[in-house]
Amino acid sequence: MIRWIKRVAGAMALLVLAALAFSTWQYGTYAPRDTPMPRDEAALAWYIDDYAGARRDFLARGRLLAELFEGVQHFEIPVASRSGVDGLAVDGLYIPPPSGQRHRLLIVSSGVHGVEGPAGSAVQRLFMHEFLRPENLAGPLAETGILLLHAVNPYGFATWRRFTENNVDLNRNASTDEALYRTVNAGYPLVDPLINPAGPADAGSLGNRLFHLRAAAMIARHGMPALRQAVLQGQYQVPQGIYFGGRALEPQLQALAPRLRPILDAYPLSMVIDLHTGYGARGTLHLFIDPPADPRVRQGLETAFAGQAIDWASGSGFYTVTGDFVGWLGKLRRGGLHLPAVFEYGTMDSQKTLGAIRSLHVTLLENQGVQHGYASPADQARIERDYREMFYPSAPDWRVKVIHDSRAMLGTVVADWQRVGGGGEGR
């Protein structure tokens, strides 16, 4: 009898070890698959990796539009850098409606999260080239003003960081109310030891190789929704931590506000499409929208994106954030209606538990490296590579799909946008 029990216990211990080894292997080699796409060199050509190159192309296309249409204005918000990164600016390009009928304003913004800038900029420049054409501006966009905001976080774009030089996440920082910066994220201290480790980042350490188990233990204790919310909502307590929303509005948003207000107020209706990558199912363009309190906003968005699946950010896989950029733009308006929309191109299958854990791990390792240095040059190379891959996958299939899906989605918006609201004369 005792021998039998020992045998079962031994077999069970082996099984547990095998399961541990398998999950560790599975975690270590985690790589969500791409949907196979046809070769499309023209689609790939939209992507320009470096900030300066993407900016040059954006400005050149802006000059072309200024030749095509009346009254096109370019403005730039220079962004100073302590560490000497030169030539950083947020660029704005405003194209008033050729008809003079200022009924609607469509804003397309990129690079609020710097490292997501190369993909966002590509989609933005595609929009300029393929949709801001005379036939559209004389047709479905005749009563629409267009405002393009390029590289809202140029420092992060140029240095491959999501956050600004002040370690601030602009999508947790944008607020017209100072009270935001006194927000206490009650769940954050709970996750802080897991997500903001001290000391140089060492990707191969035992703790990092078993990160999935440490995260799983925490999920088992507190539940996935509570943890997702605590980590992602934004925090205002730990300046060196991830998802830090700052102590005040970041300088470029302060400088942008007075530029944007008169443009927004000239139209009774505005909509922003803010371009992001990282969250959600790999290769999927998620229309990611916080459930609005105002039913007119919900109706407006459903009209603008007729026939498209909207991920109202109220499902179990989603979370709400404080200080988001698209909401802030609406708050800058005096009256009128503002429709906030985010295009989020998934990369990590983060709607699944393993993908969410992996995304968090990649994010925290990069921040640890920036804050405390790296254990070795090899660790730095690996951590930086994983980080870029998470926000700007090198896989041609992913990049081609982003271009194809964006073209289709933007086509829907351009066609259906004019049906939103009653319009009315702008001020």
User: By the criterion CB under 5 A, which residues form the site for Zn ion?
Assistant: 113, 116, 276
Non-local CB neighbours of 383 within 8 Å, separated by 6+ positions: 201, 203, 362, 365, 366, 369, 374
Cβ 246 to Zn ion shortest distance, Å: 16
Non-local CB neighbours of 221 within 8 Å, separated by 6+ positions: none
- Residue 87 CA to its chain's centroid (Å): 23
Cβ 92 to Zn ion shortest distance, Å: 20
Which single residue brings its beta carbon nearest to Zn ion?
276
Give whichever of 228 and 276 is closer to Zn ion, judged by the CB atom: 276
Take residue 325 and report the two structure tokens written for it: 């950029």
DSSP string, 289-312: EPPPSSHHHHHHHHHHTTTSPEEE
Give whichever of 91 and 116 is closer to Zn ion, judged by the CB atom: 116
Strands 73-78 and 89-95: antiparallel
Cβ 396 to Zn ion shortest distance, Å: 22
Non-local CB neighbours of 405 within 8 Å, separated by 6+ positions: 284, 285, 345
Cβ 278 to Zn ion shortest distance, Å: 6
Give whichever of 163 and 374 is closer to Zn ion, judged by the CB atom: 163
The phi-psi region of residue 161 (left if phi > 0; otherwise alpha if psi is between -120 and 50; otherwise beta) is: beta
Cβ 364 to Zn ion shortest distance, Å: 16
Cβ 204 to Zn ion shortest distance, Å: 28
3-state secondary structure of 202: coil
CA distance 166 to 203: 24
Cβ 99 to Zn ion shortest distance, Å: 34
CA distance 105 to 195: 40
Cβ 113 to Zn ion shortest distance, Å: 4
Cβ 19 to Zn ion shortest distance, Å: 34
Give whichever of 127 and 392 is closer to Zn ion, judged by the CB atom: 392
Give whichever of 104 and 276 is closer to Zn ion, judged by the CB atom: 276
Give whichever of 114 and 369 is closer to Zn ion, judged by the CB atom: 114
Give whichever of 103 and 161 is closer to Zn ion, judged by the CB atom: 161
The phi-psi region of residue 243 (left if phi > 0; otherwise alpha if psi is between -120 and 50; otherwise beta) is: left
CA distance 427 to 424: 10
CA distance 27 to 355: 9
CA distance 404 to 307: 17
**Nearest one of 14, 27, 13, 381 to 210, comparing CA atoms:** 27
3-state secondary structure of 103: coil
Residue 227 has a CB neighbour count (10 Å cut-off) of: 23
Take residue 55 and report the two structure tokens written for it: 């900016």
Cβ 286 to Zn ion shortest distance, Å: 11
Give whichever of 113 and 228 is closer to Zn ion, judged by the CB atom: 113
Strands 310-312 and 89-95: unpaired
Take residue 24 and report the two structure tokens written for it: 């560790």
Across 308-400, where does the E strand assignment appear? 310-312, 337-346
**Nearest one of 266, 71, 88 to 161, comparing CA atoms:** 88
Cβ 63 to Zn ion shortest distance, Å: 28
Give whichever of 188 and 279 is closer to Zn ion, judged by the CB atom: 279
Take residue 54 and report the two structure tokens written for it: 């993407």
